[in-house]
């Protein structure tokens, strides 16, 4: 038995070098197996999957996705490198359907596509580098609760449909629309589990400070998605009572000698503080700016500690005095509140370096 599905990858990888040369036509309907395991094999053979099973993008499901977007099916939201494929609403919907998204996730996915296509995000570099970088999606505003995007305990998963499927839809779009094919255009040496998808919401109601989207110029009532080029997630265990001690431990992980943001002297690493640590820091007089400044200062590495060979050939340290800094500016350290309530664990997410975080309003 067979079923009709939308072809989400209707041409082979092109030699196109710019958006104006995009050769990718609109998806067409194909006959595909209706048995789930047979469809999984079909999708793998077509190159549609990240390796995990996918759901069949049946036209009726895709149409519901398109309807929830509030846009026309053929609207081009962006063009995604290195293929420079047209990210039409229909294609976004088809990939979202394969990932298991609900239709009401579509406005967020459309905003996320706009964000990754911003020139300052450097999606071409992120898609084609030897670095294991992947887009992280941070959701703020009312839409976080509306869609059930987890920002509390275990927010990186597993177990939360919205986080998992929104993050995975992004990966499928990077593959099927952008042409980021592992081992071909995607040259990552080892890869990274985060490439399967990273999405969480900031736990705004548990934060003593303004949330990320307000810091970036939006209103509290705005729903936003921020995309950040992340290469790892490093866990710190500062089960300590003094704010300065917590920041010292965290800064030690932030200022890794070999991290991209250190070697390249740029980028926007993310520091995820659980509510317990956030409250401790606030109670001891730390606002977000003071935290960023303290982390920047404590994460600096004495220049004399580096090997005599110096920096990597493509590197350019940001040096102040006799120290190599973790970023170009203290404001480049993004501090968010997320995770379980206990003041036990902090996550440091190092940045690709040659990328800037981009925030887009949803809707």
> Distance between CA 266 and CA 40 in Å, rounded?
41
3-class state of residue 69 by DSSP: helix
Q: What is the pLDDT confidence band of residue 6, given thresholds at 50, 70 and 90?
A: confident
Residue 17 lies in a domain: yes
Specify the pLDDT at position 318: 96
Specify the pLDDT at position 26: 54
Give the pTM: 0.94
> Could you give phi then psi for residue 117, rounded to 5 degrees?
-85, -5
Classify strands 334-337 and 234-236 as parallel, antiparallel or unpaired: unpaired
Q: What is the pLDDT confidence band of residue 1, given thresholds at 50, 70 and 90?
A: low
> Which residues span the domain enclosing 55?
2-119
Average pLDDT over residues 15-38: 66
Residue 113 lies in a domain: yes
3-class state of residue 339 by DSSP: coil
Length of the chain: 363
Q: What is the pLDDT confidence band of residue 29, given thresholds at 50, 70 and 90?
A: confident
> Distance between CA 301 and CA 105 in Å, rounded?
42
Residue that the structure tokens 């036209």 belong to: 59
Number of H helices, E strands in the chain: 12, 15
What burial letters (b/e) apply to 219-256, b meaning 16+ CB within 10 Å?
eeebbbbbbbbbbbbeebebebeebeebbbbbbebbbb
pLDDT per residue as tens digits for the range 69-101: 999 999 999 999 999 999 999 999 999 999 999
Considering the chain, what is the average pLDDT of its residues?
A: 94
Average pLDDT over residues 135-157: 98
Residue 54 lies in a domain: yes
Rounded to 10°, the helix 106-116/89-99 angle is 110
Residue 2 has pLDDT above 70, yes or no: no
Residue 17 has pLDDT above 50, yes or no: no
Q: Which two tokens stand for residue 107?
A: 């406005």
Residue 28 lies in a domain: yes
pLDDT per residue as tens digits for the range 122-131: 999 999 999 9
> Distance between CA 85 and CA 78 in Å, rounded?
8
Residue 264 has pLDDT above 90, yes or no: yes
- How many Cβ atoms sit within 10 Å of the Cβ of residue 31? 10
Residue 18 has pLDDT above 60, yes or no: no
Residue 288 lies in a domain: no
- Please report the sign of the dihedral spanned by the C-alpha atoms of residue 334, residue 340, residue 342, residue 346: negative
Q: What is the pLDDT confidence band of residue 3, given thresholds at 50, 70 and 90?
A: confident
Residue 346 lies in a domain: no
Counting the structural domains of the chain, the total is: 1
């Amino acid at each position: 038995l067979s079923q009709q599905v939308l072809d989400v990858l209707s041409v082979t990888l092109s030699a196109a070098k710019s958006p104006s040369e995009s050769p990718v036509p609109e998806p067409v309907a194909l006959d595909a197996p209706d048995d789930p395991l047979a469809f999984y094999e079909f999708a793998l053979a077509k190159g549609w999957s990240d390796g995990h099973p996918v759901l069949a993008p049946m036209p009726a499901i895709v149409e519901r996705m398109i309807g929830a977007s509030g846009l026309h099916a053929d609207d081009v939201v962006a063009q995604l490198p290195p293929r420079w494929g047209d990210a039409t609403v229909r294609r976004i919907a088809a990939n979202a359907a394969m990932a298991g998204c609900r239709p009401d996730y579509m406005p967020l996915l459309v905003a996320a596509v706009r964000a990754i296509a911003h020139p300052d995000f450097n999606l071409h570099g992120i898609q084609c580098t030897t670095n294991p970088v992947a887009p992280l999606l941070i959701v703020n505003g009312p839409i976080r609760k509306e869609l059930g995007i987890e920002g509390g305990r275990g927010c990186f998963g597993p177990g939360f449909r919205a986080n998992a499927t929104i993050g995975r839809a992004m990966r499928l779009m990077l593959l099927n629309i952008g042409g980021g094919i592992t081992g071909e255009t995607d040259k990552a040496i080892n890869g990274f589990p985060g490439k399967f998808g990273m999405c969480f919401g900031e736990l705004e109601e548990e934060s003593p400070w303004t949330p990320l989207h307000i810091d970036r110029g939006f209103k509290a009532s705005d729903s936003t998605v921020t995309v950040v080029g992340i290469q790892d997630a490093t866990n710190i265990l500062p089960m300590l009572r003094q704010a300065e001690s917590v920041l010292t431990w965290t800064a030690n992980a932030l200022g890794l000698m070999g991290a991209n943001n250190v070697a390249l002297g740029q980028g926007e690493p993310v520091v995820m503080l659980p509510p317990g640590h956030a409250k401790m820091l606030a109670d001891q007089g730390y606002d977000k700016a003071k935290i960023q400044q303290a982390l920047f200062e404590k994460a600096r590495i004495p220049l004399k500690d580096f090997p005599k060979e110096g920096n990597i050939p493509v590197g350019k340290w940001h040096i102040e005095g006799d120290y190599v800094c973790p970023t170009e500016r203290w404001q480049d350290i993004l501090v968010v509140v997320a995770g379980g309530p206990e003041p036990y664990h902090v996550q440091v997410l190092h940045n690709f370096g040659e990328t800037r975080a981009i925030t887009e309003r949803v809707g």
